[in-house]
A and B are shown apart, each in its own frame.
Chain A
Amino acid sequence: MIEGLTSSTLLEKHPRLEDIMCSLDTVGKMPSGVSGEIRQAVALARRFNESVARPYALELDRKMHEDPTYVPWDIVKEINRWGFYTNWIPKIYGGRGWNLGSLIPVVEELCSECAGIGNLMGVEYFGMSVLFAGWNTRITDKVCRDVVAGEKSGEPCLIAGLVTEPGAGTDAEETELLHKARVRCLARKVDGGYVVNGTKVFISNGHVSTWHISTAFEDTSRPADTMMCFAVRNDAKGFVYGRMEKKMGQKGCPASEIIFEDCFIPDEDVIINAEQIKKLKHSPRETAQQVIDFVVTLTRPGVGAMGAGVARGAFQEALAFARETEVRGKLLVNHEWAQCLLAEMYANAALARLTYMECNHITGLYGMAALLNLKPMYYYMKMMPTALLDRVMPFANRLAAVQQAFRKIIMDRQKEEDALRASGWASLSKFAATDLGIKNCHLAVELMGEAGIRHDMRAEKFLRDSKLLQIYEGTNQLNRLNLFKCLVAPAAPEALVFEE
């Protein structure tokens, strides 16, 4: 036998066991209630697919082909009505507080029918994660409760996340690049708040969102050191909608240009800025990276789940086609080569799923909502009556002390290696699962021949929709580099990333 001490030295060697087999740690630590929640959530998503997404996906896509300026309120209202926009808002902010671990499998489900509709739902939580990442409990409480009210009233109140600028896409995802970036979104400090000028582009759900959670820079010549983050409503003075992009796919989900023209942001809507960062342990640049990482460790496996979704959806369409189409006088599904291909497609979807589930475990253990997954906390929150929380939390969340406590625990105490593991795996899932997703869409189109290119047979829509997955939340190239930075470079100290 190897002694305990030796054994842990061995396992600490690169690649560290806990970096490459994260589920091992999670299995014991995860509250067992989570698996039941995942089952329930997935069942709900399947029902939604059957009764809403499947019957409407093609029609919506076609409508957007015809009129790219159509704003898809009809389907947004439907998603709202089903509760998808609040199920995963923590109870302390007035939501149903479903475990975050069940969100990503739901994203796969929805995207296995329509990635555009999946994005309309999923992107809400991108906006929300930008909101959460600064750990400003006061504003988070305010915005989330608006979303909840929007569900009750039937008038959706959604949240968009505004990071990308016309001149800074990849650069906005990584502080090593951000410090050289050509950003233009300037937040100038004035009495009682900021005046913001600049343009954000490609903002998913922009035209259907009420709250916009945006980054801006107090000094655009030093963006990585002066990043700030604020919340603004779309009816604010100086908040201007630009164009809605004409996209190849995921047409149902608008991508909007948003322009700030001397838009005044009162101090109370500032989520995090230099002054607040001063009270934290990390430097402004480190904090900016931490905020970005909090967001992307949640959202990148989400895009990975979209990859698994389209991989599965394309597989399902191909299988259905093979079961009903004769090729050279024999059902396609009975050609051996087609069976091999379908098996490959099944495996691609499974592999994509494994990456995001592994990531899901890591985010659960080390991500920004890790606290909620500690068993006592999990069961405490589960048992807490919402009515009681709703009476206490809006006040508690407003207290500076509460906010400071959260920031201390979550931001200051985060261990470097945990942050790297989470961010690295998020990137792994993002690029690996989406590459597998688009692969399956290609295979489906090929297998189906002439039927594969027809809109009414769905495979071509999967292909168009899936291509976006390799681009947003950082291009797949940026995500490869981030994986290198987080998981490879620590074992290769001479490696310099983004300094070629």
Chain B
Amino acid sequence: MKADVSEELKLLDEMARDFAAKELVDEREEHDRFPFAPLYDSVLSKALEVGFFAVMLPEEAGGSAEPVSALCLVLDEICQADASLGATIFTNALAQEIIRQAGGASLLAEMASEDGSFQQSLIAFPSYNNPGEVDHCARAARDAGGYELSGDVPYVVLGGVVNRALLPAKTEGPDGYSFFLVDLKSQGVEVSEPVLSLGMHSCPAVDLALGGVIGTLVGTEGEGSAYYEAAVDRLSVAAAAMAAGTMKGSFTGAFEYSKEREQGGRHIVDWSGLRIILADMAVKARAADMLVEKAAGAVDREEPGWQQQSRAAALVVGGMATDATTDGIQALGGYGYMKDYPQEKRFRDAKQIQSLLGITHMRRLEFIQRVVDGEAAW
């Protein structure tokens, strides 16, 4: 993915790789024990410090205002080591992007001026659900002072970790839903225990129950879906980059192992049966790399059809990663199934990456709907 990136992005990419090697690899298994071990607060603080949570954020909001390609490079490198941090970066970026789409740059700038801890800077968001599909929206009632939110919003990612969430809620009047910023420390917010999930253990989610909680409307009432879909157009490729990184990590692990492990009197890499599996993994990783680079570039340059390129990349690469990571376990046999090697974690994480942004079948239907509506198929 690095063929023709600028010097600046190369530096960013190197930084992400170094960070992953230094902060994520050694303690990976321990980090993954959350919620049965402490969360890696210090890693989150360091990630904030080096700017991973503000890659695409506008400069006036304290960000680097980098293009989507930059975010993809970071996610790819981070997810090769540990996709959980990738999911944290992604969820926060998605929330920021929705706010930006809603014209809330000033809100973002306001947040940037606060104390600067990750608890204060990051935004929780239910990043695995499209609120327009499975209706996990709260209700928002307007009174003189503003909006009060009530009801349940399940699986809010980072909800138990940070102080603020961007949540969908429905108001009286418009058909659609709206987005609200909510202070999670305020009265009436009930935060569940961390939800135990398939993967991404150190990017945990909680279920929220809201009872008359004050929310700040983001953008226009009833327009949530438009902001959400526009953000998904831009960030689908970032989900693809996470899948690509995870799959690269899986291939590297499988390849290294198979050169060491002997069965039947030779290194297992020398059995063509296993080689075909490794080949499939390598081909998928290579193809994913090309897709992400191409789609991210298209998004950055707003080439015709960039939205569909971004979405296609997420669907295809997401699927490839679930195949490749299952093979990544298989190449290690019984050892691949154990926590001692990160292959089982990559398998769980990849499957969870595929679930980002809503049910895959609905995303496929959305894709073809746009073609039905007249968009070019390619």
Q: How far is the CB of B7 from chain A (nearest CB, A)?
A: 39
A246 at the interface (CB under 8 A from B): yes
Is A248 at the interface (CB under 8 A from chain B)?
A: yes
Cβ of A69 within 8 Å of any chain B Cβ, yes or no, is no
Is A177 in contact with B334, judged by CB distance below 8 angstroms? no
Say whether A447 contacts B361, CB under 8 Å.
Answer: yes
Cross-chain contact of A177 among B263, B333, B362 (Cβ < 8 A): B263
Task: List the one stretch of B38-46, B55-63, B236-244, B344-352 in contact with chain A.
Answer: B344-352
Q: A327-B134, A471-B333, A477-B273 are in contact. Are A456 and B195 (CB under 8 A)?
A: yes
* A446 to B263 Cα, complex, angstroms: 36
Judge whether A325 is part of the interface by a CB distance below 8 angstroms: yes
Given the contacts A62-B196, A170-B263, A449 and B355 also touching, CB distance less than 8 Å: yes
Judge if A209 is at the interface, Cβ distance under 8 Å. no
Q: Which of A170, A201, A337, A470 contacts B264 (CB 8 A)?
A: A170
A471 touches B273 (CB 8 A): no
22 CB-based A-B contacts, threshold 8 Å: A62-B196, A65-B196, A168-B263, A171-B263, A177-B264, A181-B265, A247-B337, A248-B347, A326-B135, A445-B198, A447-B359, A450-B155, A453-B197, A455-B196, A456-B195, A456-B196, A460-B197, A467-B337, A467-B347, A471-B334, A500-B271, A500-B272
How far is A181 from B262 in the complex, measured between Cα atoms in Å?
Answer: 9
Residue of A164, A338, A450, A468 touching B134 (CB-CB under 8 A)? A450
Partner of B265, one of A180, A328, A467: A180
Shortest CB distance A456–B (Å): 7
B-side contacts of A470, CB under 8 Å: 326, 330
B338 and A246 contacting across the interface, CB-CB below 8 Å: yes
Task: Return the CB mask of A191-221 against B: 1 if under 8 Å, else 0.
Answer: 0000000000110000000000000000000
What residues on B are CB-neighbors of A176 within 8 Å?
A: 264
Cβ-closest chain A residue relative to B136: A450
Contacting pair A455 B197 (CB below 8 A):
yes
Q: Decide yes or no: A453 and B272 within 8 Å by CB, A327-B362, A341-B361 being known contacts.
A: no
Contacts of B340 in A (CB 8 A): 246
Q: Indicate if B80 sits at the interface (CB-CB under 8 A).
A: no
Bitwise, A144-184 to B at CB < 8 A (1) or not (0) is 00000000000000000000100111110000110011100
Whether B329 and A449, one on each chain, are in contact in the complex, defined by CB atoms closer than 8 angstroms, is no
Q: Which residue among B129, B199, B264 has the maximum number of chain A CB atoms within 10 Å of its CB?
A: B264
Question: Is B168 at the interface (CB under 8 A from chain A)?
Answer: no
Decide if B322 is an interface residue (CB 8 Å cutoff): yes
**Partner pick for B360 among A446, A460, A477, A480, CB 8 A cutoff:** A446
Query: A329 to chain B: which residues have CB within 8 Å?
Result: 135
**A88 in contact (CB, < 8 A):** no
B154 at the interface (CB under 8 A from A): yes
Given A180-B265, A246-B340, A327-B133, 17 more pairs with CB closer than 8 A = A68-B339, A177-B263, A182-B262, A246-B339, A247-B344, A329-B135, A442-B351, A450-B134, A453-B128, A453-B197, A453-B199, A460-B197, A460-B198, A460-B348, A463-B198, A467-B329, A477-B273
Q: B135 contacts which chain A residues (CB < 8 A)?
A: 326, 329
Dominant secondary structure at the B interface: mixed
A450 touches which of B128, B272, B334, B351 (Cβ 8 Å):
B128
Residue A464, interface by CB 8 Å: yes
Task: Please tell me if the beta carbons of B195 and A455 are within 8 angstroms of each other in the complex.
Answer: yes
Flag if B361 contacts A338 (CB, 8 Å).
yes
Closest to A167 in B: B262
Check B129–A449 contact: CB distance below 8 A.
Answer: yes
Task: Specify which of A68, A454, A467, A476 is in contact with B155 (CB 8 Å cutoff).
Answer: A454
A471 and B337 form a contact (CB under 8 A): yes
Which listed residue, B36, B273, B352, touches A66 by the CB 8 Å rule?
A: B36
User: How far apart sit A86 and B316, CA to CA, in the bound complex (Å)?
Assistant: 49
> Which residue of A168, A170, A248, A341 contacts B337 across the interface (Cβ within 8 Å)?
A248
Shortest CB-to-CB span from B327 to chain A, Å, is 10
Q: Are the C-beta atoms of A481 and B264 separated by less than 8 Å?
A: no
Q: Which one of A247, A447, A463 lies within 8 Å of B339 (CB-CB)? A: A247
Residues B359 and A327 in contact, CB atoms below 8 Å apart:
yes
7 closest pairs, A vs B, by CB?
Answer: A180-B265, A455-B196, A449-B359, A460-B198, A248-B344, A246-B339, A450-B128
Residues of chain A from 240 to 271 with CB closer than 8 A to chain B in the complex: 245-249
Number of A residues with CB within 8 Å of any CB on chain B: 60
Q: Taking each of A202, A327, A338, A450, which has the highest tally of chain B beta carbons within 10 Å of its own beta carbon?
A: A450
Minimum Cβ distance to chain B for residue A56 (Å) = 16
**Chain B residues whose CB sits within 8 angstroms of the CB of A455 once the complex forms:** 195-198
Measured between beta carbons, the chain A residues less than 8 angstroms from B264 are 170-171, 176-177, 180-181, 498
Q: Is B178 an interface residue when CB atoms closer than 8 A count as contact? A: no
Chain A residues whose C-beta falls within 8 Å of the C-beta of B197 in the assembled complex: 453-455, 460
Q: Which residue of A lies closest to B268 (CB)?
A: A170
Question: Chain A residues in contact with chain B, CB under 8 A?
Answer: 62, 65-68, 164, 167-171, 176-177, 180-182, 201-202, 245-249, 325-329, 337-338, 341, 438, 442, 445-456, 460, 463-464, 467-468, 470-472, 475-477, 480-481, 498, 500
State in angstroms the CA–CA spacing of A130 and B134 once bound together: 50
Q: Are B155's CB and A442's CB within 8 A?
A: no
Is the CB–CB distance between B334 and A472 below 8 Å? yes
Contact A453 B362 (CB under 8 A): no
Question: Do B271 and A452 touch (CB < 8 A)?
Answer: no
Q: Cα distance A65–B35 when bound, in Å?
A: 9
State which of B334, B339, B348, B365 has its C-beta within 8 Å of the C-beta of A169.
B334
- In the bound complex, what is the Cα–Cα distance between A182 and B344 (angstroms)? 26
Within 338-378 of B, Cβ neighbours of A (below 8 Å) are at: 338-340, 344, 347-348, 351-352, 354-355, 358-362, 365
Are B330 and A463 interface neighbours, CB within 8 A?
Answer: no
In the complex, chain A residues whose CB is within 8 Å of the CB of B162? none
Q: In the bound complex, how far is the Cα of B134 from the Cα of A169, in angstroms?
A: 45
Give complex CA distance A171, B133 in Å.
Answer: 50
Cα A488 to Cα B98 in complex, Å, equals 58
Q: Which of B252-287 contact A (CB under 8 A)?
A: 262-265, 271-274, 277
Contact A247/B134 with A169-B333, A449-B129, A449-B355 known, Cβ cut-off 8 Å: no
Q: Which residues of B contact A481 (CB under 8 A)?
A: 273
The docked-state distance in angstroms from the alpha carbon of A264 to that of B173 is 82
Q: How far is the CB of A242 from chain B (nearest CB, A)?
A: 13
* Chain A residues whose C-beta falls within 8 Å of the C-beta of B151 in the assembled complex: none
Closest approach, in angstroms, between the C-beta of B152 and any C-beta of chain A?
A: 13
B273 near A248 with CB under 8 A, answer no
Contact A326 B334 (CB under 8 A): no
Q: Which residues of A contact B336 (CB under 8 A)?
A: 471
User: Residue B249 at the A interface, CB < 8 A?
Assistant: no
Q: Shortest CB–CB separation between residue A307 and chain B, in angstroms?
A: 14
- Determine the distance from Cα of A277 to Cα of B200 in the docked complex, in whole angstroms: 53
For A468, the chain B residues whose CB sits under 8 A away are 337
Q: How far is the CA of A428 from the CA of B36 in the complex (A)?
A: 40
In whole angstroms, what is the CA distance A451 to B133 when docked? 13
Does B126 reach chain A (CB closer than 8 Å)? yes
A467 and B347 CA atoms in complex are apart in Å by: 10
State in angstroms the CA–CA spacing of A133 and B222 once bound together.
70
In B122-163, the 8 Å CB interface with A consists of 126, 128-129, 132-136, 154-155
A289 to chain B, nearest CB (A): 15
The smallest C-beta distance from A443 to any residue of chain B, in angstroms, reads 10
Nearest-neighbour CB distance to chain B for A269, whole angstroms, equals: 27
- A248 and B326 CA atoms in complex are apart in Å by 12
Most chain B CB atoms below 10 A, which of A329, A447, A454: A454
